[in-house]
Chain A
Amino acid sequence: MKVLNIIFFIITTVNCLYAKNLPVKEIFTEEVWRGEILVEGVVAVRKEGKLTIEPGTVILFKSIDIDDDGIGDSELYVEGTIIAKGSKDAPIVFTSESNDKIPSSWKYIMVNHAKYAYFEHVLFEGAFSGLQVHFTKAIVKNSIFRNNVDGFRFSTANIYVCNNKMTKNRHGIRYEERDSKGIIEFNSIQENEIGIFPVTKCGDKVNFRYNNIEKNGYNIKVGDEQKENLSFKNNYFGMIFESEIRKKIYDKHFDKNLPIVNIKPYSKKPFLESDVKCLEEF
């Protein structure tokens, strides 16, 4: 028994020490990233810190999984300010260091109780969540979320999300609206397992409109604990007839205990690039 205890002790101590060894880099002042950046472990932008990322910067997250939960541990954690403004020709890339960009290779960009977050022309790929925003005002424009478990995820946030592409994620957009406000418009949410996943506590304070939500396993799927009916008006669902659209919206029509997703009026043709007009100010 004693031997067993000692072995246990060693295992757990090593485990703890190892867990503590997840490298943490903290940013307390202004920092600019350009070129290629390797994130190994946690990079934390603290309250007074400001991280600016220049166009064309490639941020590689090292695939480590110390806690063995199947999700990479490397992450960018922001409580200060982040400005990631790429350009059409030189987007900013957040991706896995390894060659196979499979979902969960790295953890996420977590913007939590932060001062401000701005993302434009950014590619998020191979993460558990490409981008999570909580308790923060954030703008996300002209970006791509690809091959993540959750592409874009938020709760209690003030957000403006315009002209992004969420594709090949398990959930294109996953959210618990809670006390959020905002507009999500002109996005292409295509070829995800679930296009939009309102998990719980969602109302209509975030306005989803003018989005192309199509070719997903379900275009919208309401979480089991969502109670209120939801409204997704003025979006395009890839089909013309309501009966066809309904087949791809998992709500009361599939399970009587779920609320209804109202979709009318819906667009009968997709929104095109020429239709896109993102707000300049939010």
Chain B
Amino acid sequence: MRYLFFLIFYAFLVQDLYSHEVKGRVVFKENTPVFGANVNIYNENRDTKILSTTTDPEGYFNINLEEGVYFFEATYVEKNRRFVGYSGKNPLLVSGSEYIGIRLLPLYKFKEQKVKNNKTKVIGQVLFEDKPLKDSIVYFYLSGRDIKGMPYVYSMPTNKKGFFEINDILPGKYFIVARKKISGSLFGPIEEGDFIGFFQHNPINLEKGKVYSIVIPVFKKVQDDVPIQVSAKYKITGYAIDEKGNPVSGVYAFAYKNKEMGHERPISISKKTKKDGYFELPIPESGKYYIGVRQFYGGTPLQGELYGLYEQTYDHHIYVDKNIENIKITVRKILR
């Protein structure tokens, strides 16, 4: 009997360790949610599909994944036009709860042509919102995992028509990624305002004696795709702090009209807090709002998620009829 208990607890433990909730949202470039997009999760080399799901009317999806490295893609067809999008975090090590934002871009085909000189060549164009993007770099990787490491080769910055060329590349399978970092650096993590785009037919097998003409559409990394932008009449500003009073970074403040917070989408969400824990929450009009902060958005808060509610009123409301400044919200991990 004791053995059975042990087994059951062990089962809990294993489940806890290996199943992680991944939430995300698929949007078009105008930030409009995409209902019914297919979200496909591949292994890190994007050659085996692990599972698929579809987005809800607000563009959200929600899946459980075992710990591992994954490649996230979304596809969608509207009026015979095909769209595809990739998470800028690809390939992503899922070892806890994650949020994935995916922006859909129109699908571009590529051309291949035989040439006599037996060399392999790639000519391409980098586009941002259908227009050429100058000064972006195109990186060729030998495996999916390398995308966050060293490329095999990379291009010169694209010219003002967005073009680049790689002459005489070794034939083989490549992952192609275009980036333009605002800092001007060639490497390092993608930050807000940087551009990133995945070649939509990754991985591509480049054959000997062929010229490939490709297009790589890119998107601009916004701060984790804040889904709600409201025109603000007022704002609530304040700080997320921990129980010792230190600022907490990486959380969003939110405002609900609904006391039960969570049955509907919030009216407003702030940007993610930085090191100082500071947030600004736009409020559309005067009234009673229920206020808190959390680590992820979309769906129910998770165990271990950073979460806190405004504590000056028992039901966590603030009546807003002017700007409210310098509120403090204490953040704790749910159920820890």
Interface of A toward B, CB cutoff 8 Å: 24, 26, 42, 44, 46-47, 77, 113, 135-137, 155-158, 178-179, 181, 183, 201, 205, 207
Q: Are A46 and B314 in contact (CB under 8 A)?
A: yes
17 contacts between A and B (CB under 8 A): A24-B314, A44-B314, A46-B311, A113-B307, A135-B301, A135-B334, A135-B335, A136-B335, A137-B335, A155-B300, A156-B301, A158-B335, A178-B300, A179-B300, A179-B302, A181-B16, A205-B12
Q: Which residue of B lies closest to A44 (CB)?
A: B314
Nearest Cβ distance between residue B255 and chain A, in whole angstroms?
Answer: 17
User: Does any Cβ of A come within 8 Å of B191's Cβ?
Assistant: no
Nearest Cβ distance between residue B301 and chain A, in whole angstroms?
Answer: 7
A-B pairs with beta carbons under 8 A, tally? 43
Q: Are A156 and B314 in contact (CB under 8 A)?
A: no
Q: Are B314 and A181 in contact (CB under 8 A)?
A: no
If A136-B335, A178-B300, A179-B303 touch, whether A113 touches B314 (CB-CB below 8 Å) is no
Known: A136-B335, A179-B302. 13 other contacts (CB 8 A): A24-B314, A44-B315, A47-B330, A77-B314, A113-B334, A137-B335, A156-B303, A157-B335, A158-B303, A158-B335, A179-B21, A179-B301, A179-B303
Nearest Cβ distance between residue A224 and chain B, in whole angstroms?
Answer: 15
Q: What's the tally of chain B residues with a CB closer than 8 Å to chain A?
A: 17
Q: Are B334 and A156 in contact (CB under 8 A)?
A: yes
User: Please, how many angstroms separate the alpha-carbon atoms of A26 and B21 in the complex?
Assistant: 35
Q: Which residue of A lies closest to B316 (CB)?
A: A79
Q: Which residue of B lies closest to A183 (CB)?
A: B8
Nearest Cβ distance between residue A117 and chain B, in whole angstroms?
Answer: 12
User: Does any Cβ of A come within 8 Å of B15's Cβ?
Assistant: yes
Nearest Cβ distance between residue B258 and chain A, in whole angstroms?
Answer: 14
Q: Which residue of A lies closest to B16 (CB)?
A: A181
Q: Which residue of B lies closest to A178 (CB)?
A: B300
Q: Are B300 and A42 in contact (CB under 8 A)?
A: no
Q: Are B314 and A42 in contact (CB under 8 A)?
A: yes
If A113-B307, A135-B301, A179-B300 touch, whether A207 touches B334 (CB-CB below 8 Å) is no
Cβ contacts under 8 Å, A183 to chain B: 8
Q: Which of B276-311 contact A (CB under 8 A)?
A: 300-303, 307, 309, 311
Mask for B1-24, Cβ within 8 A of A = 1, else 0? 000000010001001100001000
Q: Which residue of B lies closest to A43 (CB)?
A: B314
User: Please, how many angstroms separate the alpha-carbon atoms of A67 and B15 in the complex?
Assistant: 43
Give the top 6 A-B pairs by smallest Cβ distance, nearest first: A44-B314, A179-B303, A179-B302, A178-B300, A26-B314, A135-B334
Nearest Cβ distance between residue A73 and chain B, in whole angstroms?
Answer: 13
Cβ contacts under 8 Å, A24 to chain B: 314
Cβ contacts under 8 Å, B303 to chain A: 156, 158, 179, 181
Q: Which residue of A lies closest to B314 (CB)?
A: A44
Q: Are A207 and B301 in contact (CB under 8 A)?
A: no
User: Please, how many angstroms separate the alpha-carbon atoms of A158 and B16 in the complex?
Assistant: 12
Cβ contacts under 8 Å, A113 to chain B: 307, 309, 334
Nearest Cβ distance between residue A156 and chain B, in whole angstroms?
Answer: 6
Nearest Cβ distance between residue A134 and chain B, in whole angstroms?
Answer: 9
Cβ contacts under 8 Å, B8 to chain A: 183, 207
Cβ contacts under 8 Å, A156 to chain B: 300-303, 334-335
